[in-house]
Amino acid sequence: MSTTQTWKVPPSGVWAPAVTLFDPETDKLVLEDQKKYYAHLSKSGLAGLVVLGTNAETFLLTREERRQLLEAARQAVGPGFPIMAGCGGHSTAQVLEFLRDAADAGADSALVLPPAYFGKATTPAVVERFFADVAAATPLPIVLYNFPGVCNGVDLDSDLIATLARRHPQVVGVKLTCGSVAKIVRLAAELPADEFAVFGGQSDFLLGGLASGSAGCIAAFANVFPRSLARIYELWKAGEGDEALRLHKTAALAERPCKSGIAMTKYAAAVFSATRAGVEDAERKMLPRRPYAGPGEADKAKCREVMAELAKIEEELAGKSTHTEVLVAGAIAAFTIDLLVYPLDTLKTRYQSQDYLDTYKKSGSSSSAIKNVPKGTFRGLYQGVGSVIIATLPAVGEKDRDLARTTQRNQELTWDPVSKAGIFFTTYESAKSGFAKALPEGAPSPLVHALASGTAELASCAVLTPAEVIKQNAQMIRSNSGSSGGSTSGKSTSLQAFRMLQSAEGGAWRRLWTGYTALAARNLPFTAMQFPMFEYVRATIWRQRDDRRRSRKEAGGIEEGQGLLETGLVNGSSAALSGSVAAVLTTPTDVVKTRMMLLAGDQKSSGGGGGGGGSNSSSSNNGGFRIARDVYRELGVRGLFRGGLFRAGWTALGSGLYLGTYEVAKVWLKGGKGTDKDEGGI
């Protein structure tokens, strides 16, 4: 193999070594059900799948069956989801065959046991020669697999593992199914994490391994409760160690029946996981392959009893929307609502502008003001919409691996429906982890979340400000047509606004971020006010409706469930009320923001076109406090709340439709399951 090739380290997190399904009558593979099972695991928050590991009963499979399973896995999980292929064999030649088959099937890396059929004959020198030969010819990165229990007691020590990693760049990790945390510590201390990943081989020392420097675990129990194990990892990475430990203790007790072997693991997976994947008759299809037998009825009953508590947690986690569902739901809602309420936003901008006020003052009275509304106020209501489309179009990109897993990454490439929202959540997760580590131990979670969300909002505003500046200046460009379209004279108003900013003093790049502080000053308190109110109002409405529903049932009526319409109405009305109140209260900062952004478009050399900031202002006097003082002097407190009703109206409409549509879309994407009462649109 080429020495210049880059050998990719498998992503950190929890991996499932997927079990294999067999037809109970013919003892053949059941590939369609197998695909369903692979797909289910890949959408459960896991970092990747091991196909053909020990729990797949790989040494009971033919070479053709191995190929079929790898091909089925890639088809089921898509091109981006990580697959590690088990390529254990008894000779160098056999392992190299398996490696080529795995590469052809689309695997990303390979898990390789030392050849140990002859037990004592597998000396350290034999192991070194074997992995040297494999590394020299492998088409895939190699993860060493140390499992003395299936290798006649052959146990790779940390010195040998580190030696192999240093000599062969193709060796990018190890799975330690030997229960040795000490090996994790030594290997993590000796080998860089970006070049070598250490995985524990059992879920019950996941946290112990992470605390010692591991990248996660490859655990059979992930077949049974994948979301719960992934959640432990997510909590740890987010700095919520106490919560992670509580869940980990529950999982460790639930795992005890699986310690008896593959037969019980497959039974538990059939009961608690495969049925969720849509596999029918899962218990029979998940019997061990012949000649091995399944567990007895008493053992099955004990398994169900011991795992009952964790099963409830897994059910709750399964009810939460996956990252992809949330993103697609957000895309459906955000783009539609932005376009729908845009005319009201344009009217609000014009109503707050200096051009409108100048005409208003000249009219002399409120009655004549109505008659003398500036010409063009109701024209070109979609001017500047192009900047909004650019800010909300989906963008596809490779996500940071650690962050992706904290949001239950289901695939390597994923939708980011609102670029500013992508910035928000990326910053939020990173900041949350950073603050959790930086603050004193025991700091309250609300404080961590508040600091993280504030930091994320500031980052989001940095992305949003240029689009807002272009949009608001485009909204003020005088339209020459009577239509409400988004252009004048057939030209893009967004492009005209950008060119206007370019010709203004200081140039476009300076002017594009005018009003950032005012935008942040508006958005931070708005978010802080709206979402607590939203949660309170929504919880109150649901509680009242549930009480009435219970009363009707007790009176002998028919039990009713919550439908999509009710979900939309409850969330929409709660969001509309909370959003409109928050909008009115933050109108003064919105007025200042609008004036600042319109002043960014002023052109000293030109007297017409756009801007709307007024000719008596200069770019040197555009501070937020100065603008607020000028507005107060001109119109008093009423001036600071100018456009508040417009803002309340479009915010009520926009927030109500957005969060209502968002929640309905999430439920619909999940096949109508659940109402997401407690998830919210946050």
The catalytic residue positions are: 175
CA distance 265 to 254: 12
Task: List 488's β-bridge partners, or say none.
Answer: 491
Contact 472, 603 (CB under 8 A): no
Q: What are phi and psi of 329, to 5 degrees?
A: -60, -40
Q: In which residue are the tokens 């197998």 written? A: 34
Place of tokens 């070194």: 128
Q: What number of other Cβ atoms are within 10 A of residue 138's Cβ?
A: 25
Q: Going by C-beta distance under 8 Å and a sequence separation of 6 or more, which residues neighbour residue 566? A: 545, 675
Query: How much of the chain is helix, strand and coil, in % rounded to 5?
Result: 60, 5, 30
- Check the CA dihedral 369-371-373-375 and report its sign: negative
Matching residue, tokens 């538990």 = 268
Give whole-number Cα distances, 93 to 42, 115, 120, 121, in Å.
Answer: 32, 11, 20, 18
Q: How far apart are CA 564 and CA 149, in angstroms?
A: 52
**Bond from prior residue into 525 cis (ω within 30 degrees of 0):** no
CA distance 334 to 331: 5
Rounded to whole angstroms, the Cα distance separating 371 from 377 reads: 12
Is 341:471 a contact under the CB 8 Å cutoff?
Answer: no
Query: Nearest 5°: CA angle at 474, between 473 and 478?
Result: 100
CB 246 within 8 A of CB 228: no
On whether the CB atoms of residues 385 and 296 are closer than 8 A, the answer is no
> Tokens representing 76?
């089921």
CA distance 73 to 149: 27
